[in-house]
Amino acid sequence: MNQQDPIIEARDIHKSFGQVTVLTGVDLEVWPGEVVCLMGASGSGKTTLLRMMNHLETPDRGTIRVGGDLMGYRLHKGRLHELSPSRVADQRRQIGMVFQHFNLFGHKTVLENVIEAPVGVLGLRRSAAIERAQDLLAKVGMHERADAYPAQLSGGQKQRVAIARALAMEPKVMLFDEPTSALDPELVGGVLAVMRELAASGMTMVVVTHEVGFARGVADRIVLMSDGVIVESGPPDEVLDRPRHERTRRFLSAMR
Amino acid sequence: MSIDDSAAPRIARRRPYLSWLALVVVLVLIVGAIRSVANNPYIDWSVTRQYLFNDQVLTGVWMTVRLAVISMLLGIVLGILVGLARLSRNRPLAQVAASFILLIRGVPVLVQLLIWGNIGLFVQTVKIGVPFTPIEFWSSPANDLIVPFVAATIGLALHEAAYMAEIIRSGVLSVDRGQSEAAAALGMRPGRIMRRIVLPQALRVMIPPTGNQFVTLVKGTSLVSVIAGGDLLTQTQNIAATSYRIIEMLAVATFWYLVLVGLAGALQVVLERWAGKGHTR
Ligand SMILES: Nc1ncnc2c1ncn2[C@@H]1O[C@H](COP(=O)(O)OP(=O)(O)O)[C@@H](O)[C@H]1O
Ligand SMILES: [Mg+2]
pLDDT digits (tens, 9 = 90+) for B182-217: 999 999 999 999 999 999 999 888 988 999 999 999
Q: Give ipTM to 2 decimals.
A: 0.94
User: Is residue B117 one of the residues assigned to a domain?
Assistant: yes
Question: Chain A residue with minimal CA distance to B197?
Answer: A105
Cβ distance A3 to A34 under 8 Å? no
Higher pLDDT, B39 or B127: B39
Give the pLDDT of residue A243: 85
> B60 — phi, psi (to 5°)?
-65, -45
Closest ligand 1 atom number to CA of residue A49:
17
Give the pLDDT of residue B184: 97
> B94 — phi, psi (to 5°)?
-60, -35
Q: Which pLDDT band, with edges at 50, 70 and 90, does A7 fall under?
A: very high
Chain B residues inside the 8 Å CB shell of A86: 189-190
User: Is residue B29 one of the residues assigned to a domain?
Assistant: no
User: Is residue B95 one of the residues assigned to a domain?
Assistant: yes
Q: What are the residue ranges of helices labelled H in A101-154? A: 110-120, 126-139
Give the pLDDT of residue B4: 59
CA distance A220 to A214: 11
Burial group, residue B42, by CB count within 10 angstroms (0-12, 13-18, 19+): exposed
DSSP 8-state assignment for residue B53: T
User: A45 in ligand 1 pocket by Cβ < 6 Å?
Assistant: yes
Give the pLDDT of residue A78: 87
- State the total domains in chain B: 1
Nearest C-alpha neighbor of A176 from the set A64, A60, A38, A72: A38
* From B179, B190, B280, residue closest to A105, measured CB to CB: B179
Burial group, residue A1, by CB count within 10 angstroms (0-12, 13-18, 19+): exposed
CA distance A73 to B80: 31
For B184-195, b where at least 16 C-beta lie within 10 A, e where not — what string? Answer: bbbbbbbebbbe
Give the pLDDT of residue A21: 95
Chain B residues inside the 8 Å CB shell of A52: none
Residue from B174, B186, B195, B198 to probe the interface with A (highest A Cβ count within 10 Å): B186
Q: Which pLDDT band, with edges at 50, 70 and 90, does A3 fall under?
A: low
Give the three-class secondary structure for A86: helix
Q: How far is the CA of A70 from the centre of ligand 1 (A)?
A: 23
- H/E run at residue A239: helix A236-241
Q: Please, what sign has the CA dihedral across residues B80, B83, B85, B89?
A: negative
User: Is residue B10 one of the residues assigned to a domain?
Assistant: no
pLDDT digits (tens, 9 = 90+) for A180-236: 999 999 999 999 999 999 999 999 999 999 999 999 999 999 999 998 999 999 999
Give the pLDDT of residue B6: 67
Helix axes A85-92, B177-185, angle to 10 degrees: 70
User: A153 in ligand 1 pocket by Cβ < 6 Å?
Assistant: no
Chain B residues inside the 8 Å CB shell of A106: 179, 201, 278-279
Q: Please, what sign has the CA dihedral across residues B270, B271, B272, B274?
A: positive
Cβ distance B92 to B104 under 8 Å? no
CA distance B202 to B210: 12
Nearest C-alpha neighbor of B190 from the set A52, A165, A89: A89
Long-range contacts of B129-133 (CB under 8 A, 24+ apart): none
Count CB-CB contacts under 10 A for residue B204. 21
Name every residue whose Cβ is closer than 8 Å to that of residue B142 and which is 6 or more positions away in sequence.
B119, B120, B123, B124, B125, B126
Count CB-CB contacts under 10 A for residue A88. 22
Pairing of strands A173-177, A204-208: parallel
Q: Cα dist. A74→A32, A67, A78, A81 in Å?
A: 24, 14, 10, 5
B195 touches chain A (CB under 8 A): no
Q: Is the pLDDT of residue B152 over 70?
A: yes
Residue from A69, A105, A152 to probe the interface with B (highest B Cβ count within 10 Å): A105
Tell me how close the Cα of B76 comes to any Cα of chain A, in angstroms: 22
Burial group, residue A210, by CB count within 10 angstroms (0-12, 13-18, 19+): middle
Give the pLDDT of residue B5: 60
User: A16 in ligand 1 pocket by Cβ < 6 Å?
Assistant: no
Q: Is the pLDDT of residue B67 over 80?
A: yes
The closest ligand to the CA of A45 turns out to be 1
pLDDT digits (tens, 9 = 90+) for A18-76: 999 999 999 999 999 999 999 999 999 999 999 999 999 999 999 999 999 999 999 99
**Interchain pair A105, B187: CB under 8 A:** no
Write the CATH number for B110: 1.10.3720.10
Give the three-class secondary structure for B114: helix
Range from A98-102, B10-14, B188-192, B251-255 carrying the lowest mean pLDDT? B10-14
Pairing of strands A69-70, A79-82: unpaired
Mean pLDDT score, A87-116: 97
Q: Which pLDDT band, with edges at 50, 70 and 90, does B3 fall under?
A: low
Count CB-CB contacts under 10 A for residue B158. 21
Closest protein CA for atom 6 of ligand 1? A17
pTM comes to 0.83
Mean pLDDT score, B51-65: 94
User: Is residue B201 one of the residues assigned to a domain?
Assistant: yes
Nearest C-alpha neighbor of B148 from the set B267, B46, B231: B231
Name every residue whose Cβ is closer than 8 Å to that of residue A158 and which is 6 or more positions away in sequence.
A102, A104, A150
User: Is residue B260 one of the residues assigned to a domain?
Assistant: no
Range from A75-79, A90-94, A145-149, B167-171 carrying the lowest mean pLDDT? A75-79
Q: Cα dist. A43→A23, A130, A240, B53, B121 in Å?
A: 11, 39, 20, 72, 66
Give the pLDDT of residue B281: 40
Share of chain A above pLDDT 90, in %: 89
Tell me how close the Cα of A205 comes to any Cα of chain B, in angstroms: 15
B273 touches chain A (CB under 8 A): no
Give the three-class secondary structure for B12: coil
Q: What is the domain range of residue B143?
A: 65-228
Question: Chain B residue with minimal CA distance to A57?
Answer: B181
Q: What are the residue ranges of helices labelled H in B88-138? A: 91-106, 109-117
B89 touches chain A (CB under 8 A): no
Which range has highest mean pLDDT (A70-79, A115-124, B142-151)?
A115-124
User: Is residue B222 one of the residues assigned to a domain?
Assistant: yes
Nearest C-alpha neighbor of B256 from the set B62, B21, B97: B62
User: Is residue B190 one of the residues assigned to a domain?
Assistant: yes
